Structures are given as structure tokens and as C-alpha cells.
Amino acid sequence: MAASNPSVQTDLRPEVLVVGAGLAGLSVAWWLRGRARVRVVDMASQAGAEASSQNAGMLRRLGEDPYERTLAQRVHTLLSAPQAATFGDPMLSRQTGAVLALAHDPFHLHDAVSGLRARGIRLEALDRTRLAEVAPAMADAPVVRAWFVPDERVVDAGLLVSALMRDLRNTPGCSVTLDTRIDALDVHAGKVRGVRTSDATLAADRVVLAGGAWSRHLVEPHGVFRPLIPLRRTLVQVRGPRLGAHHPWCWIDDVGVYVRPEGEGWLISGCDEAIDAPSQLASGSRGPVGETERALALDKVVRWFPALADVRAVGGWTGLRTFAPDRRPVLGADPELRGLWWCAGLGGFGVTCGLAAGEAVAAWILGESVPFLRDPPAVSPGRSFFRRWPIRPAGDIARMRLVPVR
């Protein structure tokens, strides 16, 4: 807990204070370590306790958005050919391969496929025979297009969080403070000078908001609107045939359903989305699986993965994925509040993009360019956002619903 003497706190203040100890916030701090004094603060009692611990761990490069793909490729490089000892642990991630498929629109991922091939990433277009060989779970799947990405990976987000934490705690000038709720930004004359907790003001030259759904509440009292909207998604654990020790994870993108081998069964999701109003959130956003959402996931598996039709649910959870209306990350300096930076809006691709998003924000704070992200305005917190945006309640892009941005 921070000292209560303001003069002592100012003397020892970090150059950068990061709000949020998930993958995004820890990544910013990790890339700054040794080059700036950094303090990470989170209201949870454990780092990575929110969205970072609620995902399926799939590192996906074949995504719809080009900026997501760029960040994902950087993370893939960091984990598959690690130059830092932190990422050298083979338990952090493993190569599994992935199959991305389409049920209705054969061109939905056309740009993504072209983009990956232009980068020299291996993809194989699959006919039905080859699809059943590569991914037995997709034998007789009624899809119109499928690709195999053999180098895709699964990441253990918990181990990655622990590795980042270990490095930060072993680096002089870096610290992580948990169980500390941030009540407000400390702003003077249009400049953010730190944050306020219930019993102290923590001073810093720069503040990075990396707290996902909780971040927007800190800026709204200052007349700044950054629409970060949390969507709740369901993941279901099922028992059923493993169909091979090295089965790739599989995602049918346009109808919204994925399956990933896990333990003695599979982790599945119907990719449902339900807005969970930020004002109703408190620490601890992991929730139970509802009957409707469980039924949606199981029904999709029966329809689109006939080989897994006999699986049975044995557990699961729901978690939050926070998006900007254009479903693109919010990264960089805030143009309306000097001294404020963002690393948020990573949605369902925190594992896929978090390390690279943190690297980009850290580089910009240090006044450096980011070779793999050449158009910072495209992810800027000050960019224009839609007044209405589409969500996918049942995970299907053909059944989207427009909702107002509030």
C-alpha cells in the first residue's frame, strides 16, 4: 500500500503509473522496465484476475481487422522465437495449429488470408477430405471454406502474467500494488498528475489506463468520452472424444463457434455477446454459465462439428471482453488530457495482442517509433467512433444488432 505522507510519495513517485494489472497493463510496464520508473496498480488481489484469466488462450493471426493482425503477428514472433528469457519458457505457449472456417460467406476472411500470405505466413486451403485429416472434429462439417494455419499457438495466460510480474518485481524502480482501488484521476490545469485512491494520491508524470471496462469512468468526470463497452461471453467445458493428441483448435468465424482441445475434453464457445454496463461492474467479473448460453454453444457444436455431437457440458464460465465501437484497440496518448495514455479495448484478443499493444504504448511514451504499427492515429484514443455499433448476441455476423454507443 502506498505511503500516506504526500511529500514522501512525491519524492518517490514513478514516472509512469499503470492502472490495471492484466496482460495489457503488465505488458506496458514490462516494456518500460529499466528505462523508466513504473508502478502498476490494480484493485484486484491477484494480477491478471479479470479478462486475462477468462479467455481460451488461442493466439489467432487470421483476424478481420488489419491492426489486430499486425499486433498478433508481433506477439506470435515474441513467443515462437523468443529473444527475451521471459518468453523462453516452453510452457508459456505451444504450437497447436488452427483451422479457420466459414459456414456461409466464403469471402469473409479474404483480406485476412491475403494479408497473412503477404507476410509469408503459412496457410493451407483445405478441401473436405483434407479438412477431415487435419481436424477430425470438422469431419462432415457443413462449411464452404477452411484454412489450416499450422503455426498457430495456445498461450497459458496465467503463466505469462506470472512471468511479467516476476520480471517487474525483480527490476529496480518497478513495483506492482494490488488491492488498491483507483477512485479518480488527479488532474490539474488539464494535466493528469496521478491518481487518487481512498487513502492516498499517487503521483506520476504519466498515467496509463489499462483497466478495461473500468477505465472510462475515470475520464468521464473530466468531460472526456472514450466509449469502452464490455461484452460478456460464455465458455463451456465439455467432455467428449479428443480425436487425436495434437488436434488444432477450430473456429467457424461467420457463425461464431470455436472448439479447443483441453484436458480430457474441449473448451467451446458460441461467441455470444451481451452488454454488461460498466456502472454495474465491481472487482470480480467472472460469472457462471447461463442455461441459454450453454444451450447455444452446445447446439452450435452439434450443427457445425458433427464429430463432437455427443459432448456433454461439465463446467464453464462467463467473462468480459471490452471493445471500442470499431472493435479496434485504444492505444496511445489521450489528446484531451495531457499526461494520460491508454492501452485498452483489446476485446477478445488480449492474449493475441496484449504483449505487442503494451510494447507500442511503451515505445510511444519513450518517444520512439513502432516499426510494426506505422499508423498510430488508427488506434488513437481520440479517433472518431461510431454512434451505433453492431453486437452479435448469438455470435453470428448475419444476426447482428445495432446498439447506441453510451
pLDDT (tens digit, 9 = 90+) per residue, 360-371?
999 999 999 999
- Does residue 151 lie within any of the structural domains? no
Per the model's pLDDT, the better-predicted residue between 50 and 9 turns out to be 50
In a domain, 32, yes or no: yes
- b/e map of 82-104 (b: 16 or more CB within 10 Å)? eeeebbeeeebbebbbbbbbbbe
Task: Please tell me which residue, 375 or 279, carries the higher pLDDT value.
Answer: 375
pLDDT, average across residues 250-278: 93
Q: Is residue 395's pLDDT more than 50? A: yes
CA–CA dist 307, 301 (Å, integer): 9
Whole-Å CA distances, 63 to 253, 324, 404: 9, 16, 25
pLDDT score for 280? 43
Tell me, what amino acid is at 228? L
Q: How confident is the model at residue 47 (pLDDT cuts 50, 70, 90)?
A: confident
Confidence check: pLDDT of 66 > 60: yes
Considering the chain, what percentage of its residues have pLDDT values greater than 70?
Answer: 94
Distance CA 264, CA 267 (A): 10
Helix (H) or strand (E) holding 183: strand 182-188
What backbone phi and psi angles, to 5 degrees, belong to 171? -105, 120
- Rounded to an integer, the average pLDDT of 259-270 is 94
Alpha carbon distances (Å) from 186 to 193, 219, 303: 6, 10, 53
Angstrom CA distances, 341 to 219, 337, 365, stand at 11, 9, 8
- Return the pLDDT at 283: 55
3-class DSSP assignment, residue 111: helix
What's the rounded mean pLDDT across residues 331-354? 94
How far is CA 35 from its chain centroid?
25
* pTM score, whole prediction: 0.93
Burial class of residue 35, CB neighbours in 10 A (0-12, 13-18, 19+): middle
How does residue 1 score in pLDDT terms, banded at 50, 70 and 90? very low
Nearest to 357 by CA among 312, 322, 386: 322
**Interatomic CA distance for residues 297 and 270, integer angstroms:** 4
Q: What is the mean pLDDT of the chain?
A: 91
Query: Cβ neighbours of residue 196 under 8 Å, at least 6 residues apart?
Result: 182, 183, 184, 185, 186, 202
Rounded CA-CA distance 255/164 in Å is: 35
CA angle 267, 59, 233 (to 5 degrees): 45
- CATH number where 331 lies: 3.50.50.60
- In 204-279, DSSP assigns E strands to 206-209, 229-239, 249-252, 257-262, 265-269, 274-275
pLDDT for 13: 65
Total count of domains within the chain: 1
Does some domain include residue 102? Answer: no
Distance CA 29, CA 393 (A): 35
Average pLDDT over residues 335-361: 95
Write out the residue range of the structural domain in which residue 220 sits.
6-52+158-227+326-385
- pLDDT at residue 198 is higher than 90: no
In a domain, residue 57? The reply is: no
Inter-axis angle of helices 66-80 and 350-365, nearest 10? 90
Query: Does 337 have pLDDT greater than 80?
Result: yes
* DSSP H stretches of helix in 171-313: 216-219, 291-304
Nearest to 360 by CA among 347, 383, 341: 341
9 pLDDT band, cuts 50/70/90, is very low
Residue 251 has a CB neighbour count (10 Å cut-off) of: 21
How far apart CA 366 and CA 360 sit, in angstroms, is 10
pLDDT for 54 beyond 90: no
Q: Provide the pLDDT confidence category of residue 89 given band limits of 50, 70 and 90.
A: confident
Cβ–Cβ under 8 Å, residues 10 and 203: yes
Instruction: Give the β-pairing of 340-344 and 174-177.
Output: unpaired
Helix orientation angle between 350-365 and 157-169, rounded to the nearest 10 degrees = 30
Q: And the C-alpha cell for 202?
A: 499517487
Q: Is a pLDDT exceeding 60 seen at residue 180?
A: yes
Rounded to an integer, what distance in angstroms lies between the CA atom of residue 310 and that of residue 109? Answer: 30
**Looking at the domain assignment, is residue 107 inside a domain?**
no
Provide the pLDDT confidence category of residue 297 given band limits of 50, 70 and 90: very high
Q: How confident is the model at residue 12 (pLDDT cuts 50, 70, 90)?
A: low
| Structural domain includes residue 163 | yes
